[in-house]
Structure 1
Amino acid sequence: MTLPEGFQVSVFAEGIKNARSMALGDKGTVFVGNRKEDKVWALVDKDEDGIAERVYLLAKDLKMPNGVAFKDGDLYVAEVSRILKFSNIEENLNNPPAPEVIYDQYPTETHHGWKYIAFGPDGKLYVPVGAPCNICLSEDPQYASITRMDPDGSNMEVYVHGVRNTVGFAWHPETGNLWFTDNGRDMMGDDIPDCEVNVATEAGQHFGYPFWHAGDVKDPEFGKDTNAEDYIAPIQKMGAHVAPLGMSFYSGKMFPEAYKKKVFVAEHGSWNRSKKSGYKVSMITYEGDKAIKKEPFIEGWLNDKTQKIWGRPVDVLELKDGSILISDDYAGVIYRVTH
């Protein structure tokens, strides 16, 4: 891997098959969901040496439990059509309780059905529902949206529309607005449309899908008689097919001061491009809710010359000491980045 000067990468945990979304418990437990193994893990670095020496299997036989979130001692897990809650989880890692189903009315469609979840500053749980296709217009307003609900599963509502498939988001530390990644549609060519980073400033906004992509690409099937100005354009174009997933605003003290104005974005990498793109962690420098500059932070999972890959970054999680974790669902590894 290549990183900026002064940074190092080590292995925090390995053998975590299909490691995807991560969440941090109050006592430092790292919870990990996945898309293909149907399991949820907890990782514990008790001696705080940067290596998780204990791995707990919390649940199995779940339906794509990609999303994990932690609040008030409880672990929330998102399956395709429902949200589970494991109460007082850090006190019961050896013998996890049976989960409570707090919501079970999401669509059962598995195409873009795996979910990233997180609690916002308003205390609500935010849950995206991806489009059930590459490109389509569904009559169900839940599809291609980000929804939110109270922690007990009540008051579910669609927060924003026109989001094809977000698998990562975070709230701006100053404005409090929601920044989220979105994966662009396929089958329009190698270089269009761009994947996106967007910012939602209020409920009810529409981000274009399936009518417009990346703010300026009209969909050949659904864009007729529509105007780009009617939809919210991305604040950062990421490149076509790079598949941006998890993201994290840096707020720790370990990295140099300049990194307080950066957000890290994991680019999972292309699957349908003649020459691969993505397979790296990028960083975006920002001022308020504006993206100023995008540049690579970690590269090396893709050999551009041979087009061979050995890893695919998925999520970014900041630990209490200011280091960050990066999950890799291809290698089944979670990396720790320090300075």
Structure 2
Amino acid sequence: MKYAVLTALLITWQGAALADHLQGSEAFGDWRGDKPGTIRLIRPADLPKPGATPSSANVSRVVARPQGATPQVPPGFKADLFAEGLSGPRIIRVAPNGDIFVAETRAGRIRVLRQAEGSARLVANEKFAGGLHAPFGIAFFPSGDNPQWVYVANTDSVVRFAYHSGDLKASGPPQTVVGNLPHGYGHSTRDIAFTADGKRMLVSVGSAGNDGEGLGSPPGGLAAWSARHAVGAAWGNETDRAAVLSFDPGGKDKRLFATGIRNCVGLAVQQANGAVWCSTNERDGLGDNLVPDYVTRVRESGFYGWPWFYIGANEDPRHAGARRDLKDKVAVPDVLLQAHSASLGLAFYQGDNFPADYRGDAFAAEHGSWNRSKRTGYKVVRIRMKDGVPTGEYEDFVTGFVVNDSEVWGRPVGVAVARDGALLVSEDGNGTIWRISH
């Protein structure tokens, strides 16, 4: 036992000793500098001016996974292929009994994977439900060992399936809970989570456009609109978008929980304290290093700037002077990520497989950039915490999905902690799920 503890400590120390600690403009970087253990800290004061570099279109080409290629992980960890042949696996959520629910968004279905007891080997791979409308978010309700429902966030609705622990197939048709989520145009992903007390269902809805183009004047004038709506609420085809919405578990009592969040793709509740978190895609078109994506706690009634401001009181030049009244009301996100990383799935680590200092930290999947001259993202990062509070730092944890300047073989989307404490990572480029264990 003592030898095992000393070995784990040595591995952790070696990983820390090898790590780069990048701050300021050095932390921006691109895929060529990514490696497990690299720690980055980007502060609001580090941001360049809009247009400091041209806005680039640099779409990656997804190729077949090269023979023998596996994700790169820190010393002491290993990455094993867990599942393959899936149809664009996106969000992953683990049921209390350990079954792994996967959203195959484009195929319109939810799949269930089951591990053998005491082994990483799959013993079941079943379609739980099909005929859905671009499903993404998945949540079990109520919390605990015996949920009665599986909730699924379609792009245009929230539905739920009656559920008994161990079900591999839905026992009946879906029941519509929210039938009219804003949809069409722009961002289509909708994630879902329940607050720690189980009284509220949160649903994230991304913006229709990039930077609020075409908003025009609100009905009744700006003063009348601001008096009736949450700070930063939009209108027209952006109504109830770029926001986190709140409902009761039955889909009633609709409210705006938070606004000005361009695209909260990954929605999660921190187990330690019940805080609501978002993994967020920020806007494009302002240069290689603007605007940083971010992972942050989301406070109720908080306003995060979109489309008029970003990362605090930084005004988007495309909306200069439009909403000066909001300048001092913009929340600054907790953890700024390399711009255009396309931060997606988010999960907190509460397992026992990783070293103890990982417990309570979060992992976020970075799907990868297109609006950058040298690509970034295409990795999984660790969001570092101290006593449950983010330090602002993040660490490259899983890399190696980029082949060269134009080609990639993997695009991470979902992260989830398996019942055995391993981290599961889905990527929708080649339709695989990887198991990261220590």
Q: TM range, normalised to the smaller chain?
A: over 0.9
Say whether the 8 Å CA contact 1:26–1:73 is kept in structure 2.
Answer: no
The sequence identity of aligned pairs, in percent, is: 31
> Residue 286 of structure 1 aligns with which residue?
385
> Residue 191 of structure 2 aligns with which residue?
116
Paired with 2:359 and 2:170, the residues of 1 have a C-alpha distance of 39
Secondary structure at the aligned position of 1:168 is classed as: strand
**What amino acid is aligned across from residue 281 of structure 2 in structure 1?**
N
Instruction: Quote the offset at 1:11 in angstroms.
Output: 1.8
Paired with 2:268 and 2:169, the residues of 1 have a C-alpha distance of 30
Instruction: Quote the offset at 1:52 in angstroms.
Output: 2.3
**What amino acid is aligned across from residue 82 of structure 1 in structure 2?**
S
Say whether the 8 Å CA contact 1:160–1:200 is kept in structure 2.
Answer: yes
**What amino acid is aligned across from residue 207 of structure 2 in structure 1?**
A
Instruction: Quote the offset at 1:265 in angstroms.
Output: 1.1
Paired with 1:95 and 1:159, the residues of 2 have a C-alpha distance of 31
Check if 1:301 corresponds to 2:418: no
Instruction: Quote the offset at 1:91 in angstroms.
Output: 4.9
> Residue 266 of structure 2 aligns with which residue?
168
Q: 1:54 aligns with which of 124, 127, 136?
A: 124
The structure richer in strand per residue is 1
> Residue 421 of structure 2 aligns with which residue?
322
Check if 1:211 corresponds to 2:304: no
Instruction: Write out per-residue CA displacement over residues 216-264 of structure 1, whole angstroms, 9 at most, x where no aligned residue.
Output: 5421122425254321011111011001111122111111111124211
Paired with 1:38 and 1:143, the residues of 2 have a C-alpha distance of 22
Spell out the pairing of 1:8-23 with structure 2 (5 A cutoff): 8-23=78-93
Q: 1:27 aligns with which of 91, 94, 97?
A: 97
Instruction: Write out per-residue CA displacement over residues 17-36 of structure 1, whole angstroms, 9 at most, x where no aligned residue.
Output: 11011122122111111332
Instruction: Write out per-residue CA displacement over residues 129-159 of structure 1, whole angstroms, 9 at most, x where no aligned residue.
Output: 1111111144154111001222221222210
* Alpha-carbon distance change, 193 to 217 in structure 1, aligned in 2, over 3 angstroms: farther
Check if 1:155 corresponds to 2:231: no
- Stretch deviating more after TM superposition (44-53 or 251-260): 44-53
* Alpha-carbon distance change, 205 to 292 in structure 1, aligned in 2, over 3 angstroms: closer
The structure richer in helix per residue is 2
- Stretch deviating more after TM superposition (133-142 or 329-338): 133-142
Secondary structure at the aligned position of 1:229 is classed as: helix
Q: 1:37 aligns with which of 107, 112, 119?
A: 107
* Alpha-carbon distance change, 217 to 79 in structure 1, aligned in 2, over 3 angstroms: same
Spell out the pairing of 1:37-186 with structure 2 (5 A cutoff): 37-71=107-141, 72-94=147-169, 96-123=171-198, 124-136=200-212, 137=215, 138-139=234-235, 141-186=239-284
**What amino acid is aligned across from residue 107 of structure 1 in structure 2?**
P
Say whether the 8 Å CA contact 1:241–1:271 is kept in structure 2.
Answer: yes
**What amino acid is aligned across from residue 17 of structure 1 in structure 2?**
S
Secondary structure at the aligned position of 1:221 is classed as: helix
Q: 2:347 aligns with which of 237, 245, 248?
A: 248
Q: 1:194 aligns with which of 280, 292, 312?
A: 292
Secondary structure at the aligned position of 1:164 is classed as: coil
- Stretch deviating more after TM superposition (132-141 or 329-338): 132-141
Instruction: Quote the offset at 1:190 in angstroms.
Output: 1.7
Unaligned runs of 5+ in 1: none
Paired with 1:88 and 1:290, the residues of 2 have a C-alpha distance of 35
Unaligned runs of 5+ in 2: 1-70, 142-146, 216-233
Instruction: Write out per-residue CA displacement over residues 164-205 of structure 1, whole angstroms, 9 at most, x where no aligned residue.
Output: 10111222333321121110111222221111112123x211
TM-score by length of 1: 0.93
**What amino acid is aligned across from residue 262 of structure 1 in structure 2?**
D
* Alpha-carbon distance change, 228 to 221 in structure 1, aligned in 2, over 3 angstroms: same
* Alpha-carbon distance change, 223 to 206 in structure 1, aligned in 2, over 3 angstroms: farther
TM-score by length of 2: 0.73
Paired with 1:189 and 1:212, the residues of 2 have a C-alpha distance of 16
**What amino acid is aligned across from residue 250 of structure 2 in structure 1?**
D
Structure number with higher relative contact order (C-alpha < 8 Å, ≥ 6 residues apart): 2
**What amino acid is aligned across from residue 208 of structure 1 in structure 2?**
G
Paired with 1:193 and 1:277, the residues of 2 have a C-alpha distance of 13
> Residue 52 of structure 2 aligns with which residue?
none
Spell out the pairing of 1:205-284 with structure 2 (5 A cutoff): 205-215=302-312, 217-224=314-321, 225-226=323-324, 228-284=327-383
Paired with 1:116 and 1:42, the residues of 2 have a C-alpha distance of 18
Secondary structure at the aligned position of 2:328 is classed as: helix
Say whether the 8 Å CA contact 1:242–1:268 is kept in structure 2.
Answer: yes
